[in-house]
Structure 1
Amino acid sequence: MNLVNSSRRELIDFTTGQLTVFFPDGRSAPIKGVIEQHIDEALARLRHCINAVKTWEQDSFNYLHSSQYCTYLYFLANTIWRNTREIEVPTKLFLLNKLLNGIDMFYEIAMPDIFFIGHSTGIVLAKANYSNYLVIYQNSTVGKNHGAAPSLGEGVIMYPNSAIIGGCNIADHSIIAQGVSVVNNDIPGRCMVFSGRESVVCKPLKRNIIEDFFRF
């Protein structure tokens, strides 16, 4: 994959440098070693995701592209954690992502292989079940309710200020409109979800909107 404006070594140094500045505990040497060990796998996962997103140039990662860098920090943190169960570096990467991009996307969350973050600010993601071709915009929330977590099918889009909370089964190609909250409700799929007087209202899709976002 082409690393725009950096080499592999420079990306490692850049990521390590950010963690050193924000968490000045004198542990930059072990941090750098951990990143060096796992960055290739993380970049391979990132490449697969980038290549599926229509608006992004294939086989190209720019650390100055905020959505791409946000996704990179997640993949790096998650890769280190799932390979080692070590938590110090993943925790710092998670907190760095929160500081830079305003997103709460914990390293233990099993995000899908392919997803797209439109604007990261204000996004909060719980440990739920996520599927490929997920689109999330700013100020959206996926959360638990009394321990029950949602399950999201493929091709779910969450427009700004939307929420999916509790024991929800959100079927494939469900589009949650701006400002809509789905709480302990199942959504049948292939529909646009709007707010109603007493509950949400689902209207059939006239076209496959998810094709606007991804290469298939």
Structure 2
Amino acid sequence: MIIAPSIETLNNLIRHQIHNLFLLNEVESEAISLSLGEALKKTEKCFGQSTNKYYKRNGNIIFSIYHSGQYCIFLYLISRQVFLDNPSNRELADKIYFLNKTLNGLDLYYEIEMPESFHLDHPVGSVMGRARYGNNFTFSQQCTVGNNKGIFPEIGNNVQMLSGSKILGRCTIGDNVVVAANSYIKDTDIPADSLVFGTSPNLIIKSRKK
């Protein structure tokens, strides 16, 4: 994976941003160094499955630290990796999580397990809760995945949430489902290969199979 402009700039940038917002001590700085390699491996796996033209250049996976969507995904991955490597570093993981929220307006907590490959486009105002997410999950701005009475959705592979859509509660969303813009799914199962419109319980579900 090509890191543009450089991994040194990435190292300096994340430390500088955290220090300016929340302060960063030497122990935390070292923890970032220890977790960075694994976080970048996961970043490469994630970006490698993207069809977005900005994620590859001349056949090579590219991570531009000045591409806000790419940096947003990386910040989630490094915050989670810091926590997984050493749960006692929760405060540092919190700082990185809040940095991501500050820069990108996305609420994606490091304890939430996203799939190996997930994608986002303009994620401002989105909240991703403690659901089970299938691979190649995609969301856009003002999307919400949340609970109803403490129960979260189960989301299949290749599910796309378009702008302003919501999935809440006891829902099983099948593979290859597209949730249309501003749709609201609550406590409703959606079959695979569907396009969903409207608001529960009066959803319109159309087949996407050819």
What is the TM-score normalised by the length of structure 2?
0.93
Distance in structure 2 (CA, Å) of the matches to 1:112 and 1:197: 26
Q: Which runs of 5+ in 2 are unaligned?
A: none
Contact 1:16 1:28 in 2 (8 A): no
2:65 alignment partner AA: Y
* 1:19 alignment partner in structure 2: 18
Taking a change above 3 Å as real, the CA distance of residues 2 and 198 of structure 1, as seen in their structure-2 partners, is: closer
* 2:2 alignment partner in structure 1: 2
State how many pairs are aligned: 204
Distance in structure 2 (CA, Å) of the matches to 1:171 and 1:191: 8
2:51 equivalent among 49, 54, 69: 54
Deviation at 1:10, TM superposition (A): 2.5
Contact 1:74 1:107 in 2 (8 A): yes
Query: Match of 2:11, SS?
Result: helix
Query: Moved runs in structure 1, 4+ residues, more than 6 A?
Result: none
2:120 alignment partner AA: I
* 2:38 alignment partner in structure 1: 41
CA RMSD of aligned residues (A): 1.3
Contact 1:117 1:137 in 2 (8 A): yes
* 1:214 alignment partner in structure 2: none
Deviation at 1:9, TM superposition (A): 2.8
In the TM superposition, what are the counterparts of 1:4-153 in structure 2 within 5 Å?
Answer: 4-6=4-6, 8-24=7-23, 27-55=24-52, 56-57=55-56, 58-85=60-87, 86-153=89-156
Q: Which runs of 5+ in 1 are unaligned?
A: 208-216
What is the TM-score normalised by the length of structure 1?
0.91
Contact 1:130 1:153 in 2 (8 A): yes
Contact 2:151 2:170 in 1 (8 A): yes
Deviation at 1:179, TM superposition (A): 0.5
* 1:210 alignment partner in structure 2: none
CA offsets 1:115-163 (integer angstroms, 9 cap, x no match): 1101110110111101101110100000011100000000100000000
Query: Match of 1:59, SS?
Result: strand
Deviation at 1:196, TM superposition (A): 6.0
Percent of aligned pairs with the same residue? 31
Distance in structure 1 (CA, Å) of the matches to 2:141 and 2:15: 27
Distance in structure 2 (CA, Å) of the matches to 1:89 and 1:189: 39
